[in-house]
Structure 1
Amino acid sequence: MKLLKIISTNVLLIGGMLSFSTQKAQAQSDGSFNKAGFGVKGGLNYATITKGDFDEGPDARTSFYVGATAEIPLIDDSFSIQPEVIYSRQGFERNYSFLGSDYTAEYQLDYINVPVLAKLYIVKGFSIEAGPQFGFKINEKIDLDAGDDDEGNDLDEVNDFDMGLAAGLTFQFDGGLFINGRYNHSFNEVIKDSDAKNSVIQFGLGYKF
């Protein structure tokens, strides 16, 4: 939570110092910072859960996300609201031993995430975004031998709804291509009666039409 407070503080401080001084000069020479439109995005997830009540912290599950994004400019060409709908493959891995052999169990937790972000342009093309994220679980399985061809066994240990905070950075190139890095963290517990929360680092590409 300290990291999230630091990110939020930096958004306000940096935006207050730089946005006003750079906005008019950039807008006059290069046009608006932000433009209304839709886009698509996708990339890698590095997902895990916090330790919570588990004896040991879990390892990360590496997978992917893909979805759609929109941008709605509001104030002075430097501030937008950015809603998204993202299919996100999350979860975690845990090591275990059985009959003298070591295995890795992969907990596959897939969500439809709906972040609603405040997006602040610092300079043309470069923005900071942060806001609430609402997650709806659509898949919950465990693969007791991660990496094999088994699709896994269904579970019913994970809460259906996940609410958290998303914060990140985006750089948009001329022509619509953009790169994005983001961190997502849950407010509520993921696994029932565990106090463990989703923790996801994302990095990917997108295209804004």
Structure 2
Amino acid sequence: MFNKTGFRTAGLKHLPLKKALDGIVQAGFQTVEFCLEHPGASAAAIELARRMGLRISSVSYHGKRDDPLTRMEQGKRAIRMAAECSIPVAVLGSPVPGGEGFSREAAELYDLCCRLGVKPAWETEPGTVLNGIDEFNMYIASLGPGAGINLDAGHLHLQGRCTIEDIGSLGNRIFHLHVEGMKRPEHRHLIPGMGDMDWGHLFRGLSQA
């Protein structure tokens, strides 16, 4: 799992996509997550990344402050792009509280993934409908056995849930992984190794999942 360290294109959305991909390669990353938040995301851009020697781990869309219609359209776009480009996973997020219709959105996106053979991995994030593991179990795990999680270690750490037991309990629901440093209580993504996360708990939990 950890020999294919990657980078998300959303972190470089201020750059033209080719320049962003060049930087990812030059930094030594082997894998990239294509984020629809980058305006250059497309099937053609994915093929360009592959020609540059990059592995594509997922297509993702979070859009936590987007309106429900945009969220549905962009979620479907991410899933269809993943299917078209033979990418196994679509990483999805949830809206901030107050956004209506998330249960219907999740169910419809899950059905589309099942039809197209894409594995949906919903990310939990404090301050969104999928605030943590409990909400993941409530909204997502109940959809069916093919509904998984994008395990964001820093987000779990903020809630005291980056533990051997909590991570291990997710088992084969873990379809994708985000790793960053984090120091509670501030929700600020740091370089891995910075902050106060217990990395031993993370790795041991993953080994038991």
Does TM-score exceed 0.5, indicating one fold? no
Compute the TM-score of the two structures, normalised by the length of structure 2: 0.22
Compute the TM-score of the two structures, normalised by the length of structure 1: 0.22
Whose radius of gyration is greater, 1 or 2?
1
* Structure possessing the higher relative contact order (Cα contacts under 8 Å, 6 or more residues apart): 1
Higher strand share: 1
